[in-house]
Amino acid sequence: MTRMCLHRLVLRLTGAATVALAGSAVTNAADCPRQNALGTSRVLAVDAKTYPRVGLGSFPETVPLADHEVVLTFDDGPRPPSTEKVLAALAQECVRATFFLVGRSSAEFPELVRRIAAQGHTVAHHSWSHPMMSKIPFEQAKEDIDRGIAADELALSGVSTETPSTPFFRFPYFDSSPATLDLLQARGIIVFGADLWANDWEDITPKEELTNVIERLKTARKGIILLHDAQARTAAMMPGLLRHLHENEYRIVHLVPAVSAQKNAEVPIDVPTVTSFRAIKTLAE
């Protein structure tokens, strides 16, 4: 079958699959070796023009999620050994997340940045030194943002650039200024807040942290969840959280930038991952 014919078949089958799966929960990732894993339900490509700032804790809107859909995000890494434990828990359940990395940690542990990306997670940005941006001069804030992006990119690909391959940024402490918000919007970088969080920066036990998330999910029923992979308590809590999400029929949504998705994906974006290119290719043959 020619490449053009295969492409038409991809479009036809993925369109049908989107309709067929729109009302159902797809709880296994396409390539997950564990049939009973939580999995990643779908990939959602986010466009900076449509969603320049998301997260109801800071902004009026968030990413479009259905009831019982959640996005897992992690701040302040990479930091061994806790980041490695978080990655192991996610891999066990075939779950993909977004990691907002601190540049100086990326510079210290570049191999861990590459491991995050190699396991299919989204590498995003969280400044160089984790300052409160509204408390420092604008030029200093801009320099810290750019230096952090450059350090993350250098660790990821060996090329230092202030243009992020994934234009996702979260301000430390959710602390921004009108000038820094305008700066990132002008550069096409999406600013992430969160819809709910675990308060894992506080001196609490993993059990208390898990309770925080569970109770807040009961109210919100969906949303972007903020966690910190640099925290040992979060690493210890992750298996329990993933188990709770699975047992209560939550679905994991993996965020990617729209430009990257349109450029690299073999299938149209925002299609449940169960509709894999490999499966379609097999049918075509």
Confidence of residue 267 (pLDDT cuts 50, 70, 90): very low
Give the pLDDT confidence of 175-214 residue by residue, as tens digits: 999 999 999 999 999 999 999 999 999 999 999 999 999 9
Choice among 75, 144, 200, 229 that is catalytic: 75
Query: What are the beta bridge partners of residue 125?
Result: 101, 169
Torsion of CA 278, 280, 283, 285, to 10 degrees: -60
Taking the C-alpha atoms of residue 16 and residue 256, their distance in angstroms, rounded to an integer, is 23
- Say which residue, 17 or 252, is predicted with more confidence: 252
Whether the per-residue pLDDT at 246 is higher than 50: the answer is yes
Q: Give the residue-averaged pLDDT of 247-262.
A: 87
Confidence of residue 251 (pLDDT cuts 50, 70, 90): very high
Confidence of residue 274 (pLDDT cuts 50, 70, 90): very low
Give the pLDDT confidence of 225-241 residue by residue, as tens digits: 999 999 999 999 999 99
Taking the C-alpha atoms of residue 12 and residue 276, their distance in angstroms, rounded to an integer, is 13
Whether the per-residue pLDDT at 264 is higher than 70: the answer is no
Whether the per-residue pLDDT at 263 is higher than 80: the answer is no
Q: Which element (helix H / strand E) includes 124?
A: strand 122-125
Query: What are the beta bridge partners of residue 71?
Result: 224
Check residue 260 and give its pLDDT: 54
Do 252 and 89 touch, CB atoms closer than 8 A?
no
Whether the per-residue pLDDT at 150 is higher than 60: the answer is yes
22 burial (CB, 10 Å; 0-12 / 13-18 / 19+) is: exposed
Whether the per-residue pLDDT at 83 is higher than 90: the answer is yes
Give the pLDDT confidence of 85-98 residue by residue, as tens digits: 999 999 999 999 99
**What predicted TM-score, i.e. pTM, was given to this entire model?**
0.82
- Which residue, 19, 2, 86, 61, is CA-closest to 193? 61
Q: What angle do CA 221, 226, 227 make, to 5 degrees?
A: 120
Domains and CATH numbers, the chain: 51-252 (3.20.20.370)
Q: What angle do CA 112, 113, 116 make, to 5 degrees?
A: 85
Confidence of residue 137 (pLDDT cuts 50, 70, 90): very high
- Say which residue, 59 or 271, is predicted with more confidence: 59
Confidence of residue 8 (pLDDT cuts 50, 70, 90): very low
Single-letter code of the amino acid located at 4: M
Q: Give the residue-averaged pLDDT of 48-52.
A: 96
- Which residue, 179, 180, 166, 234, is CA-closest to 202? 234
Check residue 278 and give its pLDDT: 28
Do 235 and 229 touch, CB atoms closer than 8 A?
yes
Residue 246 falls in the annotated catalytic set? no
Whether the per-residue pLDDT at 30 is higher than 80: the answer is no
Confidence of residue 136 (pLDDT cuts 50, 70, 90): very high
Tokens (6 digits) for 223? 């949303």
Whether the per-residue pLDDT at 223 is higher than 50: the answer is yes
Confidence of residue 33 (pLDDT cuts 50, 70, 90): confident
Give the 3-state secondary structure of residue 174: helix
Backbone dihedral region for residue 174 (phi beyond 0: left; psi -120 to 50: alpha; all else: beta) = left
Q: Give the residue-averaged pLDDT of 30-52.
A: 91
Q: What angle do CA 117, 122, 127 make, to 5 degrees?
A: 100
Question: Mean of the per-residue pLDDT values for the chain?
Answer: 85
Q: Give the residue-averaged pLDDT of 41-66.
A: 97
Taking the C-alpha atoms of residue 134 and residue 165, their distance in angstroms, rounded to an integer, is 25
Which residue matches tokens 């490509």?
45
Residue 75 falls in the annotated catalytic set? yes
Choice among 125, 228, 246, 254 that is catalytic: 228
Whether the per-residue pLDDT at 7 is higher than 50: the answer is no
